[in-house]
Each structure stands twice: as structure tokens, then as C-alpha cells.
Structure 1
Amino acid sequence: MSDSKPFNEEKDTCGMVCLKYLLCVFNFIFILTGCGVFVVGIWILVQKADYLSLLASSTFAATAIILIITGVVVMATAILGCFSVYKEHKGLLRLYFMLLLIIFLLVTIAGVLAFIYQQQLSDELKWHLNNIMVENYNQPGQESVTQSVDKLQQEFHCCGSVNSTDWERSLYVQSSSAEGRKVPDSCCKTKTERCGIRTHPSNIYREVMGMIFTCCLYRSIKSDPY
């Protein structure tokens, strides 16, 4: 009997019926997982697009594209599994299990690499954010960077890459346009005009931007934002 024909001699057994239902349930969960990964990728591109200008390279932005592609591949594999189980097609079942093995290996490798390079990513982000604040914040032609930094500090209640003293070296703070501000107004717990003049802990956030941003990005890549 060729692979293109159903294997009828097994399809009526109790074990085969149970296996078919089990695989259908597994593939349904697999489809939901693929949808989740796909949604995370879209979420990063749409909701966190403002932060992409703060990243050290386009590699991090490409992560969202990779998540979207991965989600599509996972959903397609699950649909293939459902179809092959329904048709009891041996050739398609072999292809399905081969794709499952490849996906498992890729996820394992990605997880290991993420664990190994997590600290390197954190250090690179802190260094890059520090340079942005010192050289680019509120400078001509850097409006998008300025808006991204302000939004980041307000949204995550932080001030500076390491701490608020990072702003002391900023070209903006040292210029006359700062009007006496020691930190941007976006560092303030209650944002008002020129509130950045006063750097008392009761007035400005003390959390570390680099650490918060790294954790946020890492969680966005690994889990569903909802």
C-alpha cells in the first residue's frame, strides 16, 4: 500500500482513535501558541516602534519579524498536523513530525543563546542608551530620539541609563536650552514645565532605565504581552 493511501487496518482500533484525538488537542494548543507568538511580533512592531530608535542595532528590530515568521510557521505546522491526522496520511505525518523536531531544536537553540547573551545585551543597551542621552537628546534632527527617551522614562518610571546623574554629561543639560534643568522633565514623577530643575528623590524617578528597558524587551520577546 502506498503512502498516499490511508492505513485502514489501524484506523478503527481504540488506540488509534485516542491517538487521533490527542494529536488534535495538541495541534489546537500548538495553533494557539503560534497565534500568541505572531501577536507578540505584531505587538512589538506596532506598540513599541517608538523605542526602536533607541536600540543599538537593527538586529533587535528584526526579532519582531522573526517572531511573526515563527508564529506563521508554527500555525502552518499545526494545521498540517491536523490534516495529516484526519486523512491518516503516513507521508504527511512524517513531514509533520520532522517539522516539529526542527521547531523544537530551533526553540532550544534560541533559548540557550538568549540565556548566554542576556548580560551582554543588557550591557550594550545601557551603554547605547547612555550615549544617546549624552549626545542626541534634544539635539537638532533628533526629535524622534528625544520623544522616545521621554516616553520611555515616563512609561517605566525611570531616569537615566544607570541613574539620574547620567544626565550631568548630557549636551542638552549643559546647554542654555535646558534653562537650568538638571534632568529632562520626563524624569519627574509629576511632569510639569521645568520640573527637572529639582533632582530630589521625592521629585524624580530613581529607577534604572537600562535595566528596565532590557527586562521589558526580554519579556516582550519571550512572552505574550497580554
Structure 2
Amino acid sequence: MTQVNCCLKWLLTIFNIIFAIVGIIIIVVTLNSQFTYANGALALDVHTFRKPELYIVGSIIMVIAILGAVGAYRESKACMILFLVCMILGSIVMLLPGTLLAVIRPQVASMQEETYRGYLPLDKAPADKRHEVDSMQREMQCCGLFSYKDWEGNIPDSCLCNKLEEMEGKCQTVDYRGLLQGVVQQKKSVYIQACFPIVSFSTLLLFDVVMGTFFTLAVLGLLGMVLSSIMIHQLRNPNRPVGVLMSVPAYFNQPPPKYEELQNIVPSTN
């Protein structure tokens, strides 16, 4: 087995353990996450980040991490070269979508609002859109996309509050007088919060999480490239020191001067 710096070997092994943990976290989060509200009512369909794709990403990360750990432990040049290639490709693959999401993020809220404005008035919207908003209201305890007035008086039961929610201050009493061609309606207690601000916040949060994941993986890939490159260099040149961090300066390895040498250096006082 080729002699490799022990610190580098353990550092690369720990790095791959952390890398494997990241892959496991992605898989676990995918199992428990819900990317949409109201049966896919988001204007930007977050099903773009489909669960099967995240399973594949997490699995690939774990396989690469195992490859790097085995290569570092066994000091295998072939495994480390393959690991380096995977790190280069992986960094590029992670940077591209992360950069794309960072570019389009400022326009996400306006794109969503424009799409939702097209639903109004909700009581005259297509049946599938009304069903989506109705499901959204039940799940997030809100009423209307921008206001309860989006329903133009035909407010569904999903907007109505119960007594406990009224006591918690989540509701407002609405008088329907004049909303339906002057016909007097009974007063009802509906949710104060509109749905669009909740959906917009959730979408931006999702973008931030996905962007952060991409850029974190890209940084880990760059770190893996550096460590694997240093180890490959040591495997090819086992007797050659690699950089200041991986080698001890020569003057630390020199024996201390003898007493006679020190005595000759000290000037005479006579």
C-alpha cells in the first residue's frame, strides 16, 4: 500500500461520511416533504422538483461518497480519479440549476400574482380552480386569494371559522349587504388571512431551500475536488511533499545544534 499522509486520508474519509449524510438527509426529507399546497395550486408548479428526481440525487450522492471513502481508505488511485471526475461533474451540475433559480427568484412572486389574478372572480372561475382554492383555504385557514371579496359574496364553507378560531382572533365578521345585487345576506365569520401571501412565502422559502441545497452540494464538490487532487498527487509521488498544509517544513526536522556550535556562535566578552 502506498504511503499517504494520514491526516489527508482521515480528512477525506470524514468528508465522504458527511457527504453520505447529506445524501441520506435528502432522501429522508423527500419522504416527509410536501411541496405543494391545495393539490398543486401553486402558479409555478413545484412538482418540477419531483420526488423521484430527489431520490436519484440522494442515491447518487451516497454512491459517490462510498466510492470516495473506499478509495481513501484503500489508497486506490483508480477510485480517487473516478471520485475526482464525479466531483467535477457534480459541481457543474449543481451550479447550473442553483444559478438558474437565483436568477428567476425575484420574478416568482409577480408571476404567481399574475396567474392568480386570472382566477378572479373565484365564484366564476373554472370548477378545477375553485376546487384548488377551496382545498387551499381548508388547509391553510385562509379566505380568498387576496381577500374574501374574491368570492363576490358566494363564500364557500372552507372560509368559515369555528368558535375557537374566533376566540383566537383569526376571523372577521363579514356583512354581505350589497354584495349580491343588493340582496341582504346573513353575517358570517370568515378567516382574516388571505391565501396568496401564505402561498407566496412558502414558494419563496422552497426556492431558498432548493437553492441552498444546490450551492451547498457545489461547495462540497469543490472541496472534494481539492482533497482528492492532493491525494492523487501523493499516490503518484509518494516521496514528494504536497504543499505547506500536508508537509512539515525542513527546519523542524533538523536536529538541535550541539553545545559546541552554540558556544562558537556566542561572541566572547573579553
Shorter-chain TM-score range: 0.5 to 0.7
Distance in 2 (alpha carbons) for counterparts of 1:43 and 1:74:
19
| Contact 1:30 1:78 (C-alpha < 8 Å) held by counterparts | yes
1:211 partnered with 2:200: yes
Between Structure 1 and Structure 2, whose CA radius of gyration is higher?
2
**Counterparts in 2 of 1:122 and 1:205: CA distance versus 1, 3 Å:** same
**Counterparts in 2 of 1:97 and 1:195: CA distance versus 1, 3 Å:** same
Superimposed CA distance per residue, residues 36-62 of structure 1 (whole angstroms, 9 cap, x where no aligned partner): 222333333xx345445212365x213
**Counterparts in 2 of 1:76 and 1:9: CA distance versus 1, 3 Å:** closer
Distance in 1 (alpha carbons) for counterparts of 2:175 and 2:58:
47
Structure with the larger RCO, 1 or 2 (CA within 8 Å, 6+ apart): 2
SS at match of 1:190: helix
Distance in 2 (alpha carbons) for counterparts of 1:221 and 1:137:
35
Which of 95, 101, 113 matches 2:100?
113
1:63 partnered with 2:49: yes
The answer for unaligned runs of 5 or more in structure 1 is 1-7
Who is 1:41 aligned against?
A: 30
| Contact 1:136 1:145 (C-alpha < 8 Å) held by counterparts | no
* Structure 1 residue 73: Cα displacement: 1.2
* Structure 1 residue 214: Cα displacement: 2.3
1:184 partnered with 2:159: yes
Distance in 2 (alpha carbons) for counterparts of 1:189 and 1:117:
41
* Structure 1 residue 191: Cα displacement: 5.8
By percentage of residues, which structure has more helix?
1
Superimposed CA distance per residue, residues 90-149 of structure 1 (whole angstroms, 9 cap, x where no aligned partner): 111111111111111222222211110002222222233343464479974567514432
Please show how residues 26-105 of structure 1 align to structure 2 within 5 Å. 26-44=15-33, 47-56=34-43, 58=45, 60-65=46-51, 66-105=53-92
Which amino acid in 1 is paired with 2:159? P
Greater than 6 Å deviation, 4+ residue runs: 136-139
Who is 1:4 aligned against?
A: none
TM-score (norm 2): 0.57
**Counterparts in 2 of 1:178 and 1:9: CA distance versus 1, 3 Å:** closer
Who is 1:10 aligned against?
A: 3
**Counterparts in 2 of 1:123 and 1:143: CA distance versus 1, 3 Å:** closer
| Contact 2:122 2:130 (C-alpha < 8 Å) held by counterparts | no
SS at match of 1:109: helix
Distance in 1 (alpha carbons) for counterparts of 2:114 and 2:16:
43
Which of 2, 8, 19 matches 1:19?
8
Superimposed CA distance per residue, residues 14-37 of structure 1 (whole angstroms, 9 cap, x where no aligned partner): x1x222111110001101111222
Task: Give the % identical residues.
Answer: 20
Distance in 1 (alpha carbons) for counterparts of 2:120 and 2:164:
19
Distance in 2 (alpha carbons) for counterparts of 1:204 and 1:198:
14
The aligned length equals 194
The answer for unaligned runs of 5 or more in structure 2 is 177-190, 214-270
Please show how residues 162-177 of structure 1 align to structure 2 within 5 Å. 163-164=146-147, 167-168=148-149, 170=150, 173-174=151-152, 177=154
SS at match of 1:54: coil
| Contact 1:53 1:145 (C-alpha < 8 Å) held by counterparts | yes
Who is 1:5 aligned against?
A: none
Who is 2:116 aligned against?
A: 129
Distance in 1 (alpha carbons) for counterparts of 2:126 and 2:60:
43
Distance in 2 (alpha carbons) for counterparts of 1:130 and 1:119:
19
